[in-house]
Amino acid sequence: MLPFLSSLCVSAQINKNSVLLGGQLTYYNSKVQIERLHQKSESGVIGISMGKAVKENKVVGINFTFSPIRQNNYPVIGDTTNLRYNRFDIGGFYREYKKIAKDFYFFTEIDIAFITAKQTEHYKTAAADVEANQRGGVIWLTPGISYQVFKKWQLELTIPNLLTMQYLTTKIQSSLPQIKNEKLEQFLFYSSTTNNTGLGFLGVGFRFIL
Protein backbone atom coordinates (compact mmCIF):
# COMPACT_ATOMS: atom_id res chain seq x y z
CA MET A 1 0.00 0.00 0.00
CA LEU A 2 1.38 3.38 -0.94
CA PRO A 3 1.65 5.75 2.05
CA PHE A 4 -0.04 9.10 1.70
CA LEU A 5 1.83 12.26 2.62
CA SER A 6 0.25 15.69 2.88
CA SER A 7 1.83 19.00 3.83
CA LEU A 8 0.91 22.63 4.05
CA CYS A 9 3.60 25.22 3.41
CA VAL A 10 4.75 27.90 1.03
CA SER A 11 6.05 27.62 -2.52
CA ALA A 12 9.15 25.70 -3.58
CA GLN A 13 10.41 29.06 -4.88
CA ILE A 14 10.87 30.34 -1.34
CA ASN A 15 12.15 33.82 -0.71
CA LYS A 16 14.43 34.66 2.20
CA ASN A 17 12.57 35.13 5.52
CA SER A 18 9.50 33.23 4.30
CA VAL A 19 7.81 31.18 7.04
CA LEU A 20 6.75 27.58 6.40
CA LEU A 21 4.04 25.70 8.25
CA GLY A 22 3.61 22.07 7.35
CA GLY A 23 2.40 18.65 8.33
CA GLN A 24 2.41 15.05 7.16
CA LEU A 25 0.24 11.99 7.44
CA THR A 26 1.19 8.46 6.40
CA TYR A 27 -0.64 5.18 6.94
CA TYR A 28 0.27 1.56 6.24
CA ASN A 29 -1.43 -1.73 7.04
CA SER A 30 -0.55 -5.31 6.28
CA LYS A 31 -1.70 -8.87 6.82
CA VAL A 32 0.76 -11.74 6.85
CA GLN A 33 -0.29 -15.37 6.82
CA ILE A 34 2.30 -18.12 6.85
CA GLU A 35 2.17 -21.74 7.96
CA ARG A 36 2.22 -21.15 11.73
CA LEU A 37 1.43 -17.46 12.07
CA HIS A 38 -1.32 -14.96 11.28
CA GLN A 39 -0.25 -11.34 11.76
CA LYS A 40 -2.09 -8.04 11.34
CA SER A 41 -0.34 -4.69 11.68
CA GLU A 42 -1.09 -0.99 11.25
CA SER A 43 1.34 1.90 11.39
CA GLY A 44 1.34 5.59 10.63
CA VAL A 45 3.10 8.92 11.00
CA ILE A 46 1.57 12.22 12.07
CA GLY A 47 3.88 15.23 11.93
CA ILE A 48 3.89 19.00 12.08
CA SER A 49 6.72 21.40 11.24
CA MET A 50 7.57 25.08 11.16
CA GLY A 51 10.48 26.60 9.29
CA LYS A 52 12.01 29.79 7.97
CA ALA A 53 13.95 30.43 4.76
CA VAL A 54 17.43 31.61 5.71
CA LYS A 55 18.22 32.01 2.01
CA GLU A 56 16.19 31.59 -1.16
CA ASN A 57 15.04 27.95 -1.40
CA LYS A 58 16.94 27.03 1.80
CA VAL A 59 14.80 26.38 4.86
CA VAL A 60 15.57 25.47 8.47
CA GLY A 61 12.99 24.68 11.10
CA ILE A 62 11.65 22.41 13.82
CA ASN A 63 9.33 19.43 13.62
CA PHE A 64 7.38 17.02 15.80
CA THR A 65 6.41 13.50 14.76
CA PHE A 66 4.18 10.84 16.34
CA SER A 67 4.55 7.28 15.01
CA PRO A 68 2.14 4.62 16.34
CA ILE A 69 2.23 0.89 15.53
CA ARG A 70 -0.44 -1.70 16.35
CA GLN A 71 0.27 -5.37 15.74
CA ASN A 72 -1.61 -8.59 16.57
CA ASN A 73 -0.01 -12.02 16.27
CA TYR A 74 -2.08 -15.20 16.17
CA PRO A 75 0.31 -18.19 16.08
CA VAL A 76 -0.97 -21.71 15.52
CA ILE A 77 1.35 -22.85 18.31
CA GLY A 78 2.16 -20.43 21.11
CA ASP A 79 0.56 -17.44 22.82
CA THR A 80 -1.47 -14.74 21.08
CA THR A 81 0.20 -11.34 21.49
CA ASN A 82 -0.94 -7.75 21.07
CA LEU A 83 1.79 -5.18 20.50
CA ARG A 84 1.42 -1.41 20.95
CA TYR A 85 4.27 0.95 20.07
CA ASN A 86 4.19 4.77 20.35
CA ARG A 87 7.17 6.86 19.27
CA PHE A 88 7.69 10.63 19.50
CA ASP A 89 10.42 12.50 17.60
CA ILE A 90 11.18 16.18 18.15
CA GLY A 91 14.00 18.03 16.40
CA GLY A 92 15.05 20.20 13.51
CA PHE A 93 15.39 20.00 9.72
CA TYR A 94 17.12 21.59 6.75
CA ARG A 95 15.52 21.50 3.30
CA GLU A 96 16.96 22.79 0.01
CA TYR A 97 15.22 23.10 -3.36
CA LYS A 98 16.76 23.03 -6.86
CA LYS A 99 14.77 23.92 -9.98
CA ILE A 100 15.24 21.21 -12.63
CA ALA A 101 12.65 22.29 -15.24
CA LYS A 102 9.62 24.54 -15.60
CA ASP A 103 7.47 24.01 -12.47
CA PHE A 104 9.63 21.03 -11.39
CA TYR A 105 11.85 21.11 -8.30
CA PHE A 106 14.16 18.55 -6.73
CA PHE A 107 14.66 18.83 -2.99
CA THR A 108 16.58 17.12 -0.21
CA GLU A 109 15.76 17.29 3.47
CA ILE A 110 17.96 16.35 6.41
CA ASP A 111 16.31 15.81 9.79
CA ILE A 112 17.81 15.33 13.23
CA ALA A 113 15.65 14.44 16.19
CA PHE A 114 15.48 13.17 19.77
CA ILE A 115 13.51 9.92 20.16
CA THR A 116 11.35 8.75 23.02
CA ALA A 117 9.21 5.61 22.66
CA LYS A 118 7.31 2.98 24.60
CA GLN A 119 6.36 -0.52 23.51
CA THR A 120 3.98 -2.86 25.33
CA GLU A 121 3.52 -6.49 24.31
CA HIS A 122 0.66 -8.34 26.00
CA TYR A 123 0.55 -12.14 26.12
CA LYS A 124 -3.10 -13.23 26.30
CA THR A 125 -2.84 -16.76 27.72
CA ALA A 126 -0.02 -15.95 30.14
CA ALA A 127 -1.76 -12.71 31.18
CA ALA A 128 1.63 -11.00 31.22
CA ASP A 129 3.23 -7.92 29.70
CA VAL A 130 6.65 -7.03 28.35
CA GLU A 131 7.44 -3.30 28.33
CA ALA A 132 10.29 -1.55 26.53
CA ASN A 133 11.15 2.14 26.99
CA GLN A 134 13.46 3.76 24.45
CA ARG A 135 15.53 6.94 24.28
CA GLY A 136 17.93 8.05 21.58
CA GLY A 137 18.63 10.14 18.53
CA VAL A 138 18.22 9.86 14.77
CA ILE A 139 19.41 11.53 11.56
CA TRP A 140 17.73 10.80 8.22
CA LEU A 141 17.76 11.96 4.60
CA THR A 142 14.62 12.38 2.47
CA PRO A 143 14.83 13.35 -1.24
CA GLY A 144 11.88 14.25 -3.43
CA ILE A 145 10.47 15.94 -6.53
CA SER A 146 7.90 18.73 -6.44
CA TYR A 147 5.63 19.83 -9.31
CA GLN A 148 3.69 23.09 -9.24
CA VAL A 149 0.30 22.13 -10.72
CA PHE A 150 -1.33 25.48 -9.93
CA LYS A 151 0.00 28.77 -8.61
CA LYS A 152 -0.74 27.78 -5.01
CA TRP A 153 -0.71 24.01 -5.21
CA GLN A 154 2.14 21.55 -5.69
CA LEU A 155 2.37 17.77 -5.91
CA GLU A 156 5.29 15.83 -4.39
CA LEU A 157 6.87 12.42 -4.71
CA THR A 158 9.33 11.51 -1.94
CA ILE A 159 11.41 8.64 -0.64
CA PRO A 160 10.97 9.10 3.13
CA ASN A 161 13.98 8.18 5.27
CA LEU A 162 16.07 7.08 2.30
CA LEU A 163 19.07 6.86 4.63
CA THR A 164 18.77 6.67 8.41
CA MET A 165 21.36 6.61 11.20
CA GLN A 166 19.94 5.91 14.65
CA TYR A 167 21.14 5.32 18.21
CA LEU A 168 18.78 3.84 20.82
CA THR A 169 18.92 2.64 24.41
CA THR A 170 16.14 0.23 25.37
CA LYS A 171 15.13 -0.71 28.91
CA ILE A 172 13.10 -3.93 29.06
CA GLN A 173 10.82 -4.86 31.96
CA SER A 174 8.96 -8.16 31.90
CA SER A 175 6.60 -10.17 34.10
CA LEU A 176 7.43 -13.29 32.08
CA PRO A 177 10.15 -15.41 33.78
CA GLN A 178 11.67 -16.44 30.42
CA ILE A 179 12.29 -12.81 29.43
CA LYS A 180 14.73 -11.01 31.72
CA ASN A 181 14.84 -7.34 32.59
CA GLU A 182 17.77 -5.69 30.82
CA LYS A 183 19.12 -2.57 29.12
CA LEU A 184 20.23 -2.68 25.49
CA GLU A 185 22.12 -0.28 23.23
CA GLN A 186 21.71 -0.20 19.45
CA PHE A 187 23.39 1.71 16.64
CA LEU A 188 21.57 1.29 13.31
CA PHE A 189 22.22 2.45 9.76
CA TYR A 190 19.64 1.47 7.14
CA SER A 191 17.63 2.51 4.08
CA SER A 192 13.86 2.56 3.57
CA THR A 193 14.39 0.95 0.16
CA THR A 194 15.44 -2.33 1.80
CA ASN A 195 11.95 -3.13 3.14
CA ASN A 196 9.72 -5.79 1.57
CA THR A 197 6.75 -3.60 0.68
CA GLY A 198 7.67 -2.89 -2.93
CA LEU A 199 6.83 0.72 -3.64
CA GLY A 200 5.59 1.13 -0.09
CA PHE A 201 8.58 3.34 0.75
CA LEU A 202 7.36 6.08 -1.63
CA GLY A 203 5.42 9.07 -0.34
CA VAL A 204 2.87 10.96 -2.45
CA GLY A 205 1.80 14.39 -1.26
CA PHE A 206 0.80 17.94 -2.03
CA ARG A 207 1.61 21.46 -0.95
CA PHE A 208 -0.39 24.64 -0.70
CA ILE A 209 1.41 27.95 -1.23
CA LEU A 210 0.29 30.28 1.56
Give φ, ψ of 121 to 5 degrees.
-120, 115
Residue 117 located in a structural domain: yes
Residue 171 located in a structural domain: yes
Residue 89 located in a structural domain: yes
Q: Where residue 105 sits, what CATH number does that domain have? A: 2.40.160
Closest CA to 73 of 38, 34, 123: 38
pLDDT classification of 9: cutoffs 50, 70, 90: very low
pLDDT digits (tens, 9 = 90+) for 191-202: 876 654 444 456
Mean pLDDT of the chain: 81
Q: In which domain, by residue range, is 24 found?
A: 19-208
Closest CA to 87 of 62, 113, 111, 61: 113
Closest CA to 107 of 46, 162, 188: 162
CA distance 207 to 20: 11
Residue 104 located in a structural domain: yes
pLDDT digits (tens, 9 = 90+) for 136-193: 999 999 898 988 787 767 777 878 778 999 999 999 988 877 778 888 899 999 887 6
Residue 9 located in a structural domain: no
The pLDDT, as a whole number, for residue 194 is 65
Contact 97, 141 (CB under 8 A): no
- Judge whether residue 3 has pLDDT over 50: no
- Judge whether residue 4 has pLDDT over 70: no
Residue 8 located in a structural domain: no
The pLDDT, as a whole number, for residue 76 is 60
Residue 12 located in a structural domain: no
The pLDDT, as a whole number, for residue 152 is 67
Query: What value does the CA radius of gyration of the chain take, rounded to a whole number of Å?
Result: 20
Residue 11 located in a structural domain: no
pLDDT digits (tens, 9 = 90+) for 77-105: 777 889 999 999 999 999 998 989 888 98
Instruction: Specify the pTM.
Output: 0.76
- What is the number of structural domains in the chain? 1
pLDDT digits (tens, 9 = 90+) for 60-83: 999 998 989 999 888 767 778 899
